[in-house]
Chain A
Amino acid sequence: MKSRDEIARALGDAGYIADGELAIAVALMQQLRRPLLLEGEAGVGKTEVAKALAAAHATELIRLQCYEGLDQSAALYEWNYQRQLLSIQAHRGPDADAVEDRIFSEKYLLERPLLAAIRRDTPPVLLIDEIDRADDEFEAFLLELLSDFQVSIPEFGTIKATSIPHVVLTSNGSRELSDALRRRCLYHYVDYPDVDREARIIMTRVGGVGASLALQMARMVEGIRKEELRKVPGVAETLDWAAALVGLAVKDLHDAPETVHETLMCLLKTQEDRRRVTREVSDRLLGKVA
């Protein structure tokens, strides 16, 4: 995969309709060997990028979901304590050193996502999802891992990466990330797709939607996003809605304003938003959809 167009096509084949800039970002990831930091509102398809990237590279996707309190034992490695205890009991002997050597060996090591990602033969895609949810300490640790690609385990020694994974980080901006991490990464801001791209996404992902219907749906969603909403619908919601309309055999939005209004629950996820988009509002929005 070299040129931007090839990358865009490969991502497209994997079911992700990328804009031109994202394709450049992916090209740079390979050229500069830097991780890619994706920021954007919830539901714009940040995680999908990593999935499509893995499919395009025909490689494994290793995912680490971050959360408050995530620590090394959940992210990097853990010892298999049950087996260690069993082993100690089974091989009772005077030589404590031998026991220690045995129970802190490869056999008793449990790989967690980060360790797994650097020990594969073919470089996998490592998705570190919602890095902003993890603590500062974890972020600092991650930074070290991402620059050295080696891990030291006190009882075991240093493990060097056998292959450098393609790293994708995503953030919803729930916490400000450190400058160091930001600087280390390539940055790409993922915005809501424009109408044309969203229509193409609908056509790729939902079977049985024609070009004109997809465009109608995309325009309708764009209109809804411009309303003052508590929770703006993302691409995933659009796809749900499109699937719902297809399931209800809607061929043209103008023919079924009733159904359109009733299925808006796929897009509007709070009671307040639901009440705000009344039948009048949805009809008005529908009127604007050519």
Chain B
Amino acid sequence: MSCCGAPPDLEDVDAVSRLVTGKLAAFLRTLRDSGFAVGLAEGQDAAALMAAGYAERPGLLRSALKHLLAARKSDWDRFDGIFDAFWLGTRVRSRSITTGAAKAANSPSLKNLPSQQAEPRADAAAAMDQVPSIDGEDIDRSGEGRMEGASRADNLAEVDFRKLADPEQIELAHQAAAQLARAMRTRLTRRDRARRRGYRLDLRRTIHGNISHGGVPISLVKRQRKPKPLRLVVLLDASGSMSMYTGVFLRFIHGVLDEFREAEAFLFHTRLAQVSDAMKERDAGRALDRLSILAQGAGGGTRIGESLQTFNRWHAARVIHSRTCVMIVSDGYETGDAALLGREMAALGRRCRRIVWLNPMMGWQGYSPEARGIKAALPHVDLYAPANTLASLTALEPYLARL
């Protein structure tokens, strides 16, 4: 950026270049606010490009900066819009600064939102509870009092999550779910390591170590293959009919994913949202708050088929490989097209190693899979299990370990 030769009036040029640099810095700030990963080196290169004559032609500059500053498809698609708004908006200066300021003012309040949300969340959940209990009333009643194990003992492990009313109990159940998830995670990885023993010969180290034997490989150095982590993709139904379970499942999934490097999570109700980032938040409370915001706007039924279609179309290629287990947590009350759900399940089944469908309602005595969605999906599911109590969650472990 300081490549000007010996211009007549140094002060003037300095002033101009300072102006341009300042403007560029503001632009980079705008990009960072919009989630672009722009570092110092990129800023320097951008300045160098502007000095190298790209600045004279906006179209060229836009394209050049796009290549330099975008890092993924989503950046790539948004860049032109941001660039135009910033640089080409008429009387650029004032407008761009106001957008920048608005962004800056917005983002802290967005960040504050989750913590403010923490309290009202319970209310929101309660409000959501009432909605499904109207349309799913008869099912609710038929399940009541006949819960398997509920009468045996007042043991938390056996209590259906939706029966937990008292906040303390809920907190206990959440903690237990998180603990269980953690234990499962360590056991799963340990088992994996013990099972896969690679024994390829490491020739390089062997030769190096045996020079003193005249090159006769006496002491062999072997190589252990690093255990490849299994990947878990969770699709969680956050619709109204699931609201009694959503909380505890979020906690459980957060626990399982926490340190799993290879994990992705999605929420769906009428549409699909990727929530992996929120799930990987270390603090469970913060993660749940972020998620509860994403989960809101539910109601109006569950479009499992459409959500799966979105998943297959836009996310599957990236998040699924041959050692992936897809875990769907849903009651299977499909309000969309059940045939579509069947088709998309088939497509999903072809891609991944295994599909686990957890249905909390399955734990209710006398429940038979009559929901249209479940019927269409079942032929493609490898494991269909209840997940309404801590005990039933524990029962999943051996299955996941075999993956």
Is this pair of chains taken from one and the same complex? yes
Q: Which residues of A contact B (CB under 8 A)?
A: 4, 20-21, 24-25, 28, 31-32, 34, 36, 39, 68, 73, 78-79, 81, 84-85, 88-89, 92, 96, 99-100, 103, 155, 172-176, 179, 182-183, 185-189, 230
Given that A179-B37, A187-B75 are known contacts, is A88 also in contact with B211, CB under 8 Å in the complex? yes
Counting from the closest, the 9 A-B pairs by CB-CB distance are A88-B215, A182-B71, A189-B76, A186-B67, A25-B67, A24-B63, A81-B203, A187-B70, A179-B37
Query: A residues within 8 A CB of B76?
Result: 187, 189
Q: CA A183 – CA B31 in complex, angstroms? A: 13
Interchain nearest-CB distance for B370 vs A (Å) = 29
Query: What string of 1s and 0s marks CB contacts (under 8 Å) between B230-242 and chain A?
Result: 0000000000000
- B318 and A188 within 8 A (CB): no
Query: B residues within 8 A CB of A85?
Result: 207, 215
Query: A residues within 8 A CB of B317?
Result: 172-174
Q: CA A146 – CA B52 in complex, angstroms? A: 24
- B71 and A89 within 8 A (CB): no
Interface residues of B in 38-65 (CB under 8 A from A): 38-39, 41-42, 45, 48-49, 52, 60, 63-64
Q: A96-B211, A183-B38, A230-B347 are in contact. List 16 more A-B contacts (CB 8 A).
A: A24-B63, A24-B67, A28-B49, A28-B64, A31-B49, A34-B68, A68-B228, A92-B214, A99-B215, A155-B208, A172-B317, A174-B321, A183-B42, A187-B66, A187-B72, A188-B67
- B39 and A183 within 8 A (CB): yes
Q: Is B195 an interface residue (CB 8 A)?
A: no
Q: CA A181 – CA B52 in complex, angstroms? A: 25
Query: What string of 1s and 0s marks CB contacts (under 8 Å) between B57-93 and chain A?
Result: 0001001101110111101110000000000000000
Query: B residues within 8 A CB of A103?
Result: 207, 211
24 A-B contact pairs sorted by A residue (CB < 8 Å): A21-B67, A24-B67, A32-B68, A36-B67, A39-B73, A73-B204, A81-B204, A81-B207, A84-B207, A85-B215, A88-B207, A88-B215, A96-B211, A99-B211, A155-B208, A174-B318, A175-B321, A185-B71, A186-B67, A187-B67, A187-B70, A187-B72, A188-B67, A230-B347
Q: CA A31 – CA B214 in complex, angstroms? A: 52
Output the nearest chain A residue to B347 by Cβ-Cβ distance. A230
Q: Is B212 an interface residue (CB 8 A)?
A: yes
Interchain nearest-CB distance for B55 vs A (Å) = 14
Output the nearest chain A residue to B321 by Cβ-Cβ distance. A174
- B318 and A175 within 8 A (CB): yes
Q: CA A25 – CA B60 in complex, angstroms? A: 11
Q: CA A73 – CA B205 in complex, angstroms? A: 12
Interchain nearest-CB distance for B75 vs A (Å) = 7
Output the nearest chain B residue to A185 by Cβ-Cβ distance. B71
Q: CA A173 – CA B313 in complex, angstroms? A: 13
- A24 and B60 within 8 A (CB): yes
Q: CA A175 – CA B52 in complex, angstroms? A: 36
Query: A residues within 8 A CB of B52?
Result: 31
Interchain nearest-CB distance for A172 vs B (Å) = 7
Q: CA A201 – CA B49 in complex, angstroms? A: 31
- B37 and A100 within 8 A (CB): no
Query: A residues within 8 A CB of B75?
Result: 187
Q: CA A25 – CA B70 in complex, angstroms? A: 12
Query: A residues within 8 A CB of B71?
Result: 179, 182-183, 185, 187
Q: CA A28 – CA B49 in complex, angstroms? A: 9
Interchain nearest-CB distance for A88 vs B (Å) = 3
Q: Which residues of B contact A (CB under 8 A)?
A: 37-39, 41-42, 45, 48-49, 52, 60, 63-64, 66-68, 70-73, 75-77, 203-204, 207-208, 211-212, 214-215, 228, 317-318, 321, 347
- B318 and A176 within 8 A (CB): yes
Q: CA A173 – CA B320 in complex, angstroms? A: 11
Query: B residues within 8 A CB of A24?
Result: 60, 63-64, 67
Output the nearest chain A residue to B217 by Cβ-Cβ distance. A85
Q: CA A185 – CA B42 in complex, angstroms? A: 10
Query: A residues within 8 A CB of B77?
Result: 189
Interchain nearest-CB distance for B316 vs A (Å) = 10
Interchain nearest-CB distance for A167 vs B (Å) = 14
Query: B residues within 8 A CB of A179?
Result: 37, 71
Interchain nearest-CB distance for A256 vs B (Å) = 33
Output the nearest chain A residue to B52 by Cβ-Cβ distance. A31
Q: CA A188 – CA B63 in complex, angstroms? A: 10
Interchain nearest-CB distance for B305 vs A (Å) = 14
Q: CA A73 – CA B38 in complex, angstroms? A: 33
Query: B residues within 8 A CB of A185?
Result: 71
Query: A residues within 8 A CB of B207?
Result: 79, 81, 84-85, 88, 103
Query: A residues within 8 A CB of B48?
Result: 32
Q: CA A151 – CA B67 in complex, angstroms? A: 28
Interchain nearest-CB distance for B334 vs A (Å) = 20
Output the nearest chain B residue to A32 by Cβ-Cβ distance. B45
Query: B residues within 8 A CB of A175?
Result: 318, 321
- A189 and B215 within 8 A (CB): no
- A183 and B318 within 8 A (CB): no
Q: CA A39 – CA B41 in complex, angstroms? A: 22
- A88 and B214 within 8 A (CB): yes
Query: A residues within 8 A CB of B204?
Result: 73, 78-79, 81
Q: CA A85 – CA B204 in complex, angstroms? A: 11
Query: B residues within 8 A CB of A183?
Result: 37-39, 41-42, 71
Q: CA A189 – CA B73 in complex, angstroms? A: 7
Query: B residues within 8 A CB of A99?
Result: 211, 215
Interchain nearest-CB distance for A67 vs B (Å) = 12
Output the nearest chain B residue to A25 by Cβ-Cβ distance. B67
Query: B residues within 8 A CB of A88?
Result: 207, 211, 214-215
- A89 and B215 within 8 A (CB): yes
Interchain nearest-CB distance for B358 vs A (Å) = 26
Q: CA A84 – CA B60 in complex, angstroms? A: 55
Interchain nearest-CB distance for A261 vs B (Å) = 25
